[in-house]
Homo-oligomer: A and B are copies of this chain.
């Protein structure tokens, strides 16, 4: 979008004709579209071999399912449920029958209709970092997650147009008691920002509260909410092959109300999954398919997504690694399976760096490379993730926002028409000339190219004269500048009152039990 680019270049540090950014930068940007076919990493035969292995795992080994209601649903449908335990074995035809029931694409809503998102097809969705226990910036260093930092991330994520939605709490506000944390956290997200939200599957009450808060924020009735999904949840199986109670509860209660569920097995090859990637992805599929069966037997046709998170560990230390070659390959294969299972595909922008340095950058771009070429739709942790998920970084959120904008620009069509082919300009300039002064150039120069926030393209002399700022220096300055631009999006006072009242009432009721 030329007007957006112009807006962004007006923000840049290198002076000149910059105008106040407030007047120019939109906080909403259209979803990028992937116009090329995703890249496969295995053949169709190999894909089927992995799929059949997953079916065998489910039929022969089974999974441990710690949820009586779900066990009953599966038993009714013909699964083999151990009478004295939690082991459930799935007949392959039962599993296969669930494939194709959820929608391949769906729309996702929030309090701002202009931020309605499409999941699936050729559209990409970028969600902010989530679920990290620590926050960090260069000034304050790394600290345990708290509500103040949480709200600062909300502000920064609201300002950065690359971020389409929340994928959970950017950082865990651990200074709020767990019984009411979700109430304060979601209330803040729904009032301080107008981007779509996520609710954690940490038991029935939190899920139901999240659904109700997202409904109140939109000011719609229950039927509209069920027709128009407005809150999403992520289900992480306890790999290998185990689904715990709160997660299954999330699958069921979100499904009851037609709100989308992302099934993401946490299959780190060599730790919670086989050390070989084909085995790890087979297990990922087994866990996905188990979740799909529970979900679709309970709520046929409700939206359900395939989440790929297979990566490897450092085999010396056991530490998880991300943005690795193995991660990239698994991201391509994950996309093949999402298409095989005909549901939208979730991947992530991840890295294992401790510092916002070259490692953080290359692991992130490698992650994006695998996810984009693999055909991912939902990019979780797309902005701000560090340290294998243990840290949300303010500076990294700005870096990632710029990387996402570059990906979006890369995905824009390479236009070919008479004006773009520029034959008249080549006639005008001729051999040995220069294009800068040509009318063809002058009429486009403000909008011709993507203008990044972070990249410092000054020549060495100008750059060193300015104190040799690194990308990290720019990021620190930029995140402060961006935060200063934050404005709370307007909200109907009646809606605000309802949200406030709901949270107050639920707090009076004691929030949720914390002893599960």
Contacts and interface: CB of A to CB of B under 8 A. Distances in A.
Interface of A: 9, 12, 14, 16, 36-37, 39-42, 46, 49-50, 53, 56-57, 60-64, 87, 134, 142, 238, 240-242, 269-280, 282-283, 312-319, 321, 324-326, 328-329, 332-333, 352-366, 369-370, 373, 387, 390-391, 399, 403, 406-407, 409-410, 412, 414-417, 419-423, 425-427, 429-436, 438, 440-441, 444-446, 448-450, 452, 454-460, 463-464, 468, 470-472, 475
Contact of A57 (B50, B357, B416, B423): B423
A426 B460 contact: no
Top 5 nearest A-B pairs by Cβ distance?
Answer: A279-B422, A274-B422, A325-B409, A241-B431, A358-B361
Contact of A356 (B274, B358, B420): B358
A277 B420 contact: yes
A275 B326 contact: no
A331 to B, nearest CB: 10
Contacts of A406: 324-325, 362, 366
Nearest to A286: B426
A186 to B, nearest CB: 28
Contact of A355 (B314, B366, B470): B470
| Residue from A87, A359, A391, A464 whose CB has the most chain B CB atoms within 10 Å | A359
A353 to B, nearest CB: 7
25 contacts: A14-B316, A61-B430, A64-B431, A240-B426, A240-B431, A241-B426, A270-B448, A271-B435, A274-B438, A274-B440, A274-B441, A276-B415, A276-B421, A278-B414, A278-B415, A279-B425, A282-B422, A325-B407, A325-B410, A332-B414, A354-B456, A354-B460, A357-B358, A358-B360, A358-B471
A283 B362 CA distance: 32
Nearest to A414: B41
A41 B36 contact: yes
A492 B212 CA distance: 81
Contacts of A50: 416, 421
A257 B61 CA distance: 66
B435 A240 contact: yes
Contacts of A354: 456, 458, 460, 463-464, 468
A460 B142 contact: yes
Given A49-B421, A61-B431, A409-B325, A357 B471 contact: yes
Contact of A454 (B238, B274, B358): B358
Contacts of A282: 421-423, 426
Nearest to A12: B316
Given A37-B39, A326-B409, A358-B472, 16 more contacts: A12-B316, A57-B423, A64-B431, A142-B460, A241-B430, A270-B435, A278-B416, A280-B422, A314-B449, A352-B457, A353-B455, A354-B463, A357-B357, A359-B454, A362-B399, A390-B460
Nearest to A429: B240
Identify which of A53, A63, A64, A274 gathers the most chain B CB atoms within 10 Å of its CB: A274
A445 B275 contact: yes
Contact of A369 (B46, B361, B365, B417): B365
Given A57-B423, A319-B458, A435 B273 contact: yes
Contact of A455 (B46, B329, B333, B359): B359
A285 to B, nearest CB: 11
A441 B472 contact: no
Contacts of A410: 325, 328-329, 366, 370
B240 A333 contact: no
Nearest to A320: B457
A57 B430 CA distance: 9
A50, A357, A416, A436 pick with most chain B CB within 10 angstroms:
A416
A431 B272 CA distance: 10
Contact of A276 (B373, B448, B463): B448
Contacts of A277: 414-415, 420
Contacts of A457: 314, 317, 319, 321, 352
Contacts of A459: 317, 319, 390
